[in-house]
Structure 1
Amino acid sequence: MQTAIPRRVALGAALLAATALAAPPAPSAYAATTPVTVTVNARAGLATVPATALGVNDAIWDTTLGTDAVADLLGAAGVKMIRYPGGSYADIYHWETHTAPGGYVAPNTDFDTFMASARRTGAEPMIIANYGTGSADEAAGWVRYANITKKYGAKYWTIGNENYGNGHYGSSWEADDHADKSPAQYAAEVIAYADAMKAVDPTIKVGAVLTMPANWPDGLVGGGDAATWNQVVLQAAGPHIDFADVHWYPGGGSAAEAIGKTQYLDDSMYLLRNQINTYGGANASRIGISLTETNVGVGQNTQPGAIFLADAYSSLIGNGVFTVQWWNVHNGIGTPSTVAGQTDYNDFGLLSSGTCTSDGTVCEPALNTPFAPYHALKLMSSFVHPGDQMVRAATDNALVTAYGSRRPNGDLGVLLINKDPDAAHDIALSYRGYTPSAAAPVAVTYGNGDTGIHAGSASTLPPYSITLVTLHPAGSNAAAPNAPGVPTASAVTDRTATISWPAVGRAAKYELYRANGAISEQLGETTGTSFTVRNLQPGKRYTVNVLARDSAGNLSWSSPPLTFATGAPATSTCTVKFADTNDWGNGYVGQVDITNTGAAPLNGWTLNFTWPTTWQSVSSGWNATWTQSGTDVRVTSDATLAASGGSTSVGFVGAYNGPNVLPAAFTLNGTLCSTSS
C-alpha cells in the first residue's frame, strides 16, 4: 500500500480469540425466485493450490506484530505466507539496525521477532529487500543473516515495494534515492540484487515489482523510456528473477462496484502472463506471480471486504498466483461509515487495532477483534488446501459467483458468494465430470453481520453471504490414471493449433476438452500425446484441458489448463497493423494502418473488428467513419485503396475501464486480413 497508518492509540493487551463456529443467525425471509443454476466442471481443471496461497501483510509499525495472540489468530485463519516489513516502509527499512528513517518503527518488531511469529503461525516469510534507500550488499547481508547465520530458510525475497511510485510517472510516494528512477535503472539494480543475494544462498527465489494490468501506471511510457515499466523490467531482468510481484487496489465508488471489480481478474492475469512470456526471456513460463497487496474499495471491515477477499483469492489462486496477501493484519481507523447496516471503520486491517477517531467520537472494537475479511480468510482455508486442484464453476446469475476445488481424496468444495445485499437465493447444483455421493453435503456460511462462520444451507444462500458446500464422491477414483502434465501449444495459426502433453502411465487414450464457461466441449481424443485442433476462430482465446482414460474406462483428473490465442492468417489480400500509440491508463490513442495487398482496387472499404471485452470502446475516430454496436466496431470510408499496396491510416481514441486486451482479428470488406506489428 502507498502509506502505512501508524497506531493512533496505544494498543491494549486485551485479546479476543476467534471461535471455530458461531451460533447461526435467525433466518431471514425472502421472496421465492427461480433457483440459481450452479455448474461445477471437474473436467476443466485450473491451477493446483500451492502451500503459500493464503497470505497477509505485517508491518514494523504494528506493535502487535510479534505477539502470540496475533500469530495464533493468523494460524487459525490458515495463513501460510506473511510479508515483512510492510508496504512502502520496505524501501526505508534497514534490517541490521532495525530502523526506518522518516517512519515509525514499533518496539519488538525486528526480523527475529517476526520470524518467531511466522513460525508460530505456520507461515513462510515473504521478505522485501530495501531498493529505495538500500543496496544489493545490504540485501545480501540480510540473506546471509537469515539463511546462513540463523538458518531460517527464508525462500522468497522481493526487490522493493511499489517502485513505479517513485515519481517517474508523476506520482511519488515510494522512497527512491537513485538519481535515475526509470524502469531500466530498477531492472539493472534487480539484476545486481539477485546476483548478490543468490551468491549467498542460491536456493532463494527473487522477485521483481511489476504493475498490474489495468492499474496505474500500466500502459504508460515514461519520459525517456523505450516502453512500459513491465516491458522494460522484464526484457532486462526477466532471466534473473523467479517471480513477478504485483499489487491490486481496484477501488470502486460503491460497495456493489467495488466487489464487482473481481470480474477483471481473469483478463488481468492473462495479460500479465502474456507480458511475462513475451518479454521475460527464454523459459519465461518458469516465472511465478505473487500478488502481495490487495484490499477492497468500499467496506474494508464489513461484508464487502469479506466478499471481495473470498472472490479475489479464489480467482487469483485459480489463475496460478502462488500467494495472495491481504493488506493488512492491523492498520488503524479511518473515516467510519455504515455499510449494509454495519459499522465500517475504514480500517484496512484483518483485525481491529482498537483505535479511535482523532476526536474520540468513534472507536473500534477491542484489540484483535476479527473484522469480516478475517472470517472470509478463515473460510477460504477450509475451501482450498495445498494440493487441491481448482476447477471451473459458473452460475446463471450475475449476483452469485461460484468456485470449485477438487481434493486429493475426491471431495469437492464449492464456494458460493451471494453479492445481493437484499435477497437470499436458492441454488441448484449441477456437475460435469463428477458424481457426488447420496450423502447430504455439508455447508458452512458467513453472512452480513455474523460474528463467525456457522452451519449453513446447501440449497439457499443468505443475502450478502459466503457459503462453502463440501461433497463426497460417489465412488473411488483410486484406479484412474494420473492427470496429464501441463499441455503446450505449437503451430498456432488463425484456424488451428497443435496441443501436446507428457505421456501418462496406464493411459489407453487422452481426451481433449475446451472450456466454454463452466461447460467443457470435447475437441477430440487420441492414443498419442498430441492433437491438432481445427476449425478455430481467428483472434480468439481458448482454454483447453487434457484427461487420460485407461482401458477400464477410468478417467483421470484434469491436466492444468492451457490458454492460447489464435491470430490472423499468415497471408491475405489485406494487412492490418493495430497500435496503442499513447496510453494514459484508462484510454489511449489508437492507430490502424490498412493495406490492400490484393490485385484489385477497393473502391470504398469497411473494416470490422470485435473488442475482446465489454469494457472497451471507441470514444471518437478520424480519417473514416467509426461506429460501435455492443463489442463490434465498424470503420467505413468511401476512399479507394489501390491494388497491390494501397494503404491508409485511421485513428481513434479508445477507452477502457478494465484490462485492455487488444483485438487480433480484422476483416476488410469481409476478407480476413493478416496482421503486422
Structure 2
Amino acid sequence: MPKVPLRAALAVLLTLTALNAPATAYAADDEPVAVTVNARAGLAAVPETGIGTNHAIWDTNLGTNATADLLKDAGVKLLRYPGGSYSDIYHWADHTAPGGYVAPNTDFDTFMAGVRRTGAQPMVTANYGTGTAEEAAAWVRYANVTKRYGVKLWEIGNENYGNGHYGAAWEADDHEDKSPHEYARHVVAYSDAMKAVDPTIKIGAVLTTPANWPDAIVAEGDTGSWNQVVLSTAGSKIDFVILHWYPGALDKTGHVPDIIQLTREQIAAYAGPGAERIGIAMTEFNTGSSSNGTNTQPGALAAADAYATLLAGGVFTVDWWNVHNGIGEVTEVAGHTDYGDFGLLSSAGCTADGSVCEPPLNTPFAPYYALQMVGTFARPGDQFIRAAASRPDVQAHAARRPNGDLAVLLLNTSADTSYPVELDYTGFSPAAGAPTVLSHTNGATAITTGSTGSATAQTLPPLSMTTVILRPAKPQAARPGTPGRPKLTAVTDTTATITWPAVPGVAKYELVRQHGAVTEQLGETSGTKLTVRNLEPGTRYTVNVLARTHAGAQSHPSLPLTFTTGTPATSTCSVKLTVQSDWASGYVGALDVTNHGAPLDGWTLSFTWPRTWQSFGSGWSAVWTEDGGQVRAVNEPANPALGTGATASIGFVGNYTGPNVLPRVFTLNGTTCTLR
C-alpha cells in the first residue's frame, strides 16, 4: 500500500509544542489526590455515535472482517468515509479519486459491509471540491433508496477553507471562486438536492475550529470570517457543523469547553431562527504530536481525556484520524517505540530504509485502548456528570448510568509517579466493598478487569487509564422524572430568568450552578420559572435543574444550560470593542471609551483576560501595562481630560494560544461600563 500522509499541510496547520515535563516523583506519605464527583452537576447525555473513527479509501484493510471486528471490540459507533481530503477528489459512482490512490476493495458497498459488521453508523463526506450537488444527490439515492442503507449523516466537503483562499492550499477545489460565500452557496444547493431524495438525512457544513487557523481571519473581499459567512448563508439548510482538531500537544483539553462554547455562540449569532437544532461533530481528531506520543501511552491518555471532555460538552461524535495511517517519524516515548503512526491499528509498514518496522498488521496501538476505555466508561444513554482532581496530572471524568450505577474515569499522566486517590461523592452514595475496576497501563496490550481498592480509595499507576464502576449503596428510590433542559428567557448584567418543562408529581425545583465539580444552589421554586439575582456581569454560568418530590426524593440533574451575563444597561461609561483584524493567534482590538458622567481629569480603563493563554502584546493612544492577566490603559500624560460625552479611542494587540474569549467587562476608574 502506498504511504499516504495524514495531512499535506500539517506543518501549516499546527505549531507543535512540547509535552509538559513529567511530574516529579512524590514521597509515599504525600497527601492523596482528591477526586470530587458530583452527581448533581449534569453534563451532556452520552450519544449513540460518540466513539468514531475515519476510514480511508487508500487503506487496503478498509472493510475487512478483521478490521471491523477490532473496531467493534473498541466500541466504535461511527465510521466516516471516504477519508479526509480524499473526499474532495472522490467520485463514488466509479470509485475513482483522480490524483490519489484508491486501494482495491474499498468501494462504498464494501465500506457499508464493514459498518454493519462493526455495528456502527456511517457518516459520508460528499465531494465538494471536484464534485457537484447532483453527484451527491445520486449518492444519497443509491445509498438510501436503491440499497436502503439508511445513511443519515452527510458532510459537504472536508476542510474546504484549505483551498488557497487564505493562503495555504491542500484541499482540492475546482471552483473559480474559493470564498466562504461560494462554499456556503453550494452547501445550500447540495442540501436541497440531497434532501429532495431523502428528507430524513442530516447535512453538515465545514467550519473552522476556534483558535485554529484560519479561524477568525477575514480574507480580502469577504464580509466576515469563514464561520460567519457560512453560517449566515447556509445556516437554515444544515443540521450540524463540522470541526477538526489536531492540537499538536498532549495538554490542550482545557481548550475544549471554549471551543464548544464559541462554536455555539457563532451558530446562535449567525445561523438564524431555530439555530439551537444544529449539532456539533468533531469528525477528525488526533493529538497531532508525533514527537510526544502518537501511538504510545501519552497519546492514549490525551485521547481519552479529549474524547470524554468533548462528548461531555455535547459534541455528538468524535472521530479519530485514522483506522490505519502508516509509519512516520520513529521515536521512543515513555519507554516504548512510537512509530509516529496516526492510526488506531498497525499498518505493518517499515521505514524507508527498512531499519524499523511496525508490529503485525492490525496490532492495536495505545489510542485504540483509549477509545475502548471511554466507550466502556460512558455508554450511550448514560449522562456525564462533573468530576475534578486536585492535581493537574490526574484527570477525572464521571458518568451516571440509567440504573443508578456510576462510572469514574481516572487518568494519571505522570510518567514516573503512582498516585493514591481519595474519591468523594455528592448526590451519590456508593455501595461498600470493592468496585469493578478496569485498567490500562503503559505498554499493556489489553484492558484488565478486577476488583481492587474501594469506592473511595484507588491507586493510579504511572501513565494509566482507570475506570471505577460503582453500585449505589441502596436501590434507587422512586425518583421523579428528570427535568428537561432549561432555557434562558431573559438576562441582564446581574439577573437571569430561566424556565424548564414541568415534571409530574414534583413539590419543588432546585436550580444549581456548577463551579467545577462543586454545585451552588441559586434558588428553588414550586413553579417552572426562576429569576436568579446577584450574578456577576460578563460571567459564564452553567446551571442544572433538579426536581424534588414531597417525600424528598430528588431527580437526576437536567441537561445543562450555559449562558453569559451582560454588562449594565446604563452606566457612567460605555466601551465598544471592535476586532479590526485577526490572524488566528492574535488580533488588533480597537476600544472606544465614552464618559457619560462628570468630566474626568485623568482616567484608567481596566480589564482582565478571560483565559490564561491570552496576553497583551502592545497598545497605543494610552499608557498600557499588564500585571497578572489584568490590563490597564491610563490616559496619556499630555491628555488627561475626558469630558462628559467625550470618547477616547485607544487600541491594543492581544495574543492568544487557545480559543479567544474576548474580554466582556471593562471598568473606567473602577466603574463597570456598558459594553456596546
Secondary structure, counterpart of 1:664 in structure 2: coil
Distance in 1 of aligned mates of 2:29 and 2:416? 13
Which of the residues 125, 142, 147 maps onto 2:139?
142
Q: For residues 613-658 of structure 1, give each alpha carbon's deviation from its aligned partner in whole angstroms, at most 9, with x where no partner exists.
A: 1111111111111112222211111434443311111111111111
Inter-partner Cα distance in structure 2 for 1:584 and 1:221: 9
In 2, Cα distance between equivalents of 1:304 and 1:663: 34
Aligned to 1:264: 255
Q: Provide the C-alpha distance between the structure 1 equivalents of 2:84 and 2:669, rounded to a whole number of angstroms.
A: 53
AA aligned to 1:60 is I
CA contact (8 A) 1:613 1:661 kept: yes
Distance 2:345 2:508 in 1: 52
CA RMSD of aligned residues (A): 1.3
> Which residue number in structure 2 is paired with residue 326 of structure 1?
320
Partner of 2:623: 625
Match of 2:95 in 1: 98
Which residue, 203, 211, 218 being the options, matches 1:214?
211
Query: Which residue is equivalent to 1:473?
Result: 472
Q: Any residues of structure 2 matched to 1:5-404 within 5 Å, and which?
A: 5=5, 31-251=28-248, 258-296=249-287, 297=289, 298-404=292-398
CA–CA distance in structure 2, aligned partners of residues 465 and 540 of structure 1: 36
Q: Residues 469-502 of structure 1, C-alpha deviation per residue, up to 9 Å, x if partnerless?
A: 1111112335111111111112211100011111
Residues 1:123 and 1:30: Cα distance change in structure 2 (over 3 Å): farther
Map of 1:539 onto structure 2 = 538
Residue 4 of structure 1 contacts residue 87 of structure 1 at CA under 8 Å; is this kept in 2? Answer: no
> How far off its partner does 1:455 sit?
3.7
> 1:319/1:4 Cα in 2 relative to 1: closer, same or farther (>3 Å)?
farther
* CA shift for structure 1 position 29: 11
Q: Secondary structure at the match of 1:260?
A: coil
Letter paired with 1:658: G
Task: State the aligned residue count.
Answer: 646
What does residue 21 of structure 2 align with? none
**Superposition deviation, residue 402 in structure 1:** 0.4
Q: CA deviation at 1:69?
A: 0.3
Equivalent residue of 2:293, what SS?
coil
1:544 and 1:561 in contact (8 A); partners too = yes
Structural mapping, 1:515-534, within 5 Å: 515-534=514-533
Counterpart residue number, 1:653: 653
Q: Distance in 2 between matches of 1:540 and 1:215?
A: 24
Alignment partners' CA distance in 1, 2:522 and 2:361: 56
- Separation in structure 1 between the aligned mates of residue 644 and residue 618 of structure 2, nearest angstrom: 30
Task: Decide whether the 8 Å contact of 2:163 with 2:172 is kept in 1.
Answer: yes
Equivalences for 1:483-494 in 2 at 5 Å? Answer: 483-494=482-493
**Post-superposition offset of 1:609:** 1.1
Match for residue 674 of structure 1?
674
**How many angstroms does 1:363 deviate by?**
0.1
Asked whether the 8 Å contact 1:330–1:353 carries over to 2, the reply is: yes
Partner of 2:251, secondary structure, is helix
Q: Is residue 453 from structure 1 mapped to residue 447 from structure 2 by the alignment?
A: yes
Bigger drift between 510-519 and 633-642 goes to 633-642
Counterpart check, 1:634 vs 2:632: yes
Contact 1:4 1:88 in 2 (8 A): no
Amino acid at match of 2:671: T
SS state at 1:491 partner: strand
| SS class of match (2:257) | helix
Q: How far apart are residue 411 of structure 1 and its match?
A: 0.6
Answer whether contact 1:641 1:647 (CA < 8 A) is retained. Answer: no
Cα deviations across residues 239-266 of structure 1 (Å, max 9, x unaligned)? 1000001100010xxxxxx221111111
For 1:487, give the aligned amino acid. Answer: P
Tell me, yes or no, if the aligned pair for 1:165 and 1:174 is still in contact at 8 Å. yes
Distance 2:558 2:633 in 1: 42
Runs of at least 4 residues of structure 1 off by over 6 A?
A: none
Contact 2:642 2:648 in 1 (8 A): no
Deviation of 1:31 after TM superposition, in Å, equals 3.7
Q: 1:642 to 1:607 in 2, by over 3 A?
A: closer
**Contact 1:442–1:469 (Cα < 8 Å) also in 2:** yes
Query: Residue type of the partner of 1:391?
Result: I
Where does the alignment leave 5 or more consecutive residues of structure 1 unmatched?
Answer: 7-27, 252-257
TM-score, normalising length: structure 1: 0.94
Amino acid at match of 2:240: F
Instruction: Give the share of equivalent positions with the same residue, in percent.
Output: 63
> In structure 2, what residue type is equivalent to 1:474?
A
Task: Mark the runs of 5 or more structure 2 residues left unpaired by the alignment.
Answer: 7-24
State the Cα distance separating 1:32 from its structure 2 match.
4.0
Contact 1:41 1:433 in 2 (8 A): yes
Shift of 1:216: 0.7
The TM-score with structure 2 as length reference comes to 0.94
| Kept in 2: contact 1:33–1:426 (CA 8 A) | no
Matched residue, 2:410: 416
Query: What whole-Å deviation, never above 9, does each CA across 1:493-521 have from its counterpart, x for those lacking one?
Result: 11000111111111110001000111000
CA deviations 1:252-292 (Å, max 9, x no partner) are: xxxxxx22111111111111111111111101111000001
